[in-house]
């Protein structure tokens, strides 16, 4: 699971948030509020019929306002498992994810809060971890880093913003996704351009990320499906090396419904030395 999920577009997202806050902070009468609501609806409708750049930028604002939702990730690569659960992206610098995943035939839970990643399970797991349910995985390690990347992956605001700003955009057409009518948009991005926009990473981290990204290809294709409310329903990404058959897919639903994701209690954390036992 690579590409836009690695991006940390805090600066660009902050600009969008400033605009959204400014628009939402104005007072006025009920008639003005009604007018504002109509204006917002008109803006959404215009976004759907506008050029892809405007549509993606408008969707980024809609998804930022939602702030959370259910996510379902799928991947054809068994070494890059999917999962389903909830995500909270209100704070772009500390996206939180709580999903269940099938990893190597084991049903495990993955919880990510910003740069902190945890792997755990049910009471059966507790027997493996001497009565504990979770293990904290350092982000400096490959597995922990991959989980943190997954957390960034499900931030729709980052994905939409990067594509709107740097992608070669096109409208694919109108399509149905799980019975919902959507507008399918496509962004083609150079890997180097994407990595250059990751301003929160150190030079060393960017070099490492680019190397990882280029395993999929030096050019990345990212597809977005937006519904009539300008919400992101689904996105998919693949590189020019592996092709669409290796695409990673994320679907969003029940926007705004996710409860706060909390870190496991310190007393429920097992030893990192026992981590591999979870996969045994």
Tell me the average pLDDT across 249-258: 93
CA dist 10 and 20 (Å) reads: 15
Q: What is the mean pLDDT of the segment spanning 145-172?
A: 81
pLDDT at 142: 66
Q: Identify whether residues 119 and 167 lie together within a single domain.
A: no
State CA 175 to chain mean position distance. Answer: 22
Mean local confidence (pLDDT), 106-132:
79
DSSP string, 112-153: EETTEEEEE-SHHHHHHTTT--EEEE-TTSHHHHHHHHHHHH
Coil, strand or helix: which one is 225?
A: strand
- Kindly give, in sequence order, each residue whose CB lies less than 8 Å from that of residue 267, ignoring residues fewer than 6 positions away: none
- Please check whether residue 157 lies inside any domain of the structure: no
Give a yes or no: residue 77 inside a domain. Answer: no
User: What local confidence, expressed as pLDDT, does residue 58 receive?
Assistant: 93
Rounded CA-CA distance 154/63 in Å is 11
Range list of H helices, the chain:
10-24, 30-49, 52-66, 123-128, 142-153, 156-166, 191-196, 203-213
Instruction: Give yes or no for a contact between 220 and 236, defined as CB atoms under 8 angstroms apart.
Output: no
C-alpha to C-alpha distance for 7 and 112, rounded to whole angstroms: 16
For residue 2, what is the enclosing H or E element?
A: none
How many other CB atoms sit within 10 Å of the CB of residue 34? 11
* pLDDT score at 30: 45
Structure tokens at 221: 């294709």
Q: For residue 131, what are the CA distances in angstroms to 123, 148, 218, 256?
A: 8, 25, 46, 34
Residue 243 lies in a domain: yes
User: Model confidence at 124, in pLDDT bands (50, 70, 90)?
Assistant: low
Structure tokens at 45: 């409708």
- Residue 141: inside a domain, yes or no? yes
For residue range 197-216, list pLDDT tens digits in order: 555 555 665 676 677 667 77
Looking at the structure, do residues 92 and 200 belong to the same domain, yes or no? no
Task: Give the residue numbers spanning the domain of 243.
Answer: 3-68+162-253
Count Cβ atoms below 10 Å from residue 123 Cβ, excluding itself: 8
Lowest mean pLDDT among 29-33, 193-197, 227-231: 29-33
DSSP-assigned beta bridge partners for residue 117: 112, 137
| Residues 147, 194 within the same domain | no
Q: What is the pLDDT of residue 91?
A: 85
* Model pLDDT, residue 94: 82
Most confident range (mean pLDDT) of 135-144, 210-219, 266-275 is: 266-275
- Residue 269 DSSP class: B
Q: Tell me the chain's radius of gyration from C-alpha atoms.
A: 19
The whole-number pLDDT of residue 41 equals 44
Inform me whether the pLDDT recorded for 32 exceeds 60.
no
Query: Tens of pLDDT along 20-29?
Result: 333 333 444 4
109 in the same domain as 222: no
Tell me: do 64 and 174 sit in the same domain.
Answer: yes
Q: What distance in Å separates the CA atoms of residue 246 and residue 229, rounded to the nearest whole number? A: 29
Residue 279: strand, helix, or coil: helix
Same domain as 180, residue 145:
no
Residues 118 and 195 in one domain: no
pLDDT bucket at 253, cuts 50 / 70 / 90: very high
- Residues linked to residue 61 through DSSP beta bridges, in sequence order: none
Statement to judge: residues 54 and 193 lie in one domain: yes
Compute the mean pLDDT over every residue in the chain, rounded to the nearest whole number.
74
Please tell me whether residues 64 and 94 are part of one structural domain. Answer: no
Q: Is 130's pLDDT higher than 90?
A: no
Please count the structural domains in the chain: 2
Tell whether 113 and 237 lie within a shared domain.
no
Mean pLDDT across the stretch 163-188? 92
Q: Which residue has the higher pLDDT, 134 or 128?
A: 134
Q: Which two tokens stand for residue 35?
A: 């007018």
Lowest mean pLDDT among 172-176, 219-223, 231-235: 219-223
pLDDT at 103: 64
Helix (H, G, I), strand (E, B) or coil at 192: helix
Q: Do 118 and 110 meet the contact criterion of CB atoms below 8 Å apart? A: yes
Percentage of the chain lying above the pLDDT 70 cut:
65
């Amino acid at each position: 699971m690579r590409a836009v999920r690695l991006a940390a577009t805090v600066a660009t997202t902050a600009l969008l948030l400033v605009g959204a806050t400014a628009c939402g902070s104005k007072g006025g009468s009920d008639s003005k509020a009604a007018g504002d609501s109509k204006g917002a609806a008109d803006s959404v409708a215009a976004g759907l019929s506008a050029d892809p750049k405007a549509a993606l930028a408008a969707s980024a604002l809609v998804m930022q306002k939602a702030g959370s939702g259910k996510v379902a990730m799928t991947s054809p690569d068994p070494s890059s498992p999917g999962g389903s659960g909830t995500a909270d992206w209100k704070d772009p610098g500390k996206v939180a994810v709580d999903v269940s995943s099938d990893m190597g035939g084991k049903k495990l839970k993955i919880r990510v809060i910003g740069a902190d990643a945890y792997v755990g399970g049910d009471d059966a797991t507790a027997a493996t971890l001497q009565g504990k349910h979770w293990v904290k995985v350092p982000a400096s390690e490959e597995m922990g880093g991959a989980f943190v990347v997954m957390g960034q992956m499900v931030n729709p605001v980052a994905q939409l913003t990067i594509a709107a700003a740097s992608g070669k955009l096109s409208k694919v057409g109108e399509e149905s996704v799980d019975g919902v009518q959507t507008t399918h948009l496509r962004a083609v991005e150079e890997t180097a351009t994407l990595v250059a926009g990751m301003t929160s990473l150190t030079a060393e981290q960017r070099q490492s990320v680019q190397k990882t990204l280029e395993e999929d290809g030096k050019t990345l294709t990212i597809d977005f499906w937006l519904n009539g409310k300008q919400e992101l329903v689904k996105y998919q990404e693949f590189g020019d090396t592996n092709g669409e058959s290796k695409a990673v897919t994320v679907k969003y639903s029940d926007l705004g419904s996710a409860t706060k994701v909390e870190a496991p209690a310190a007393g429920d954390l097992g030893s990192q030395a026992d981590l591999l036992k979870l996969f045994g």
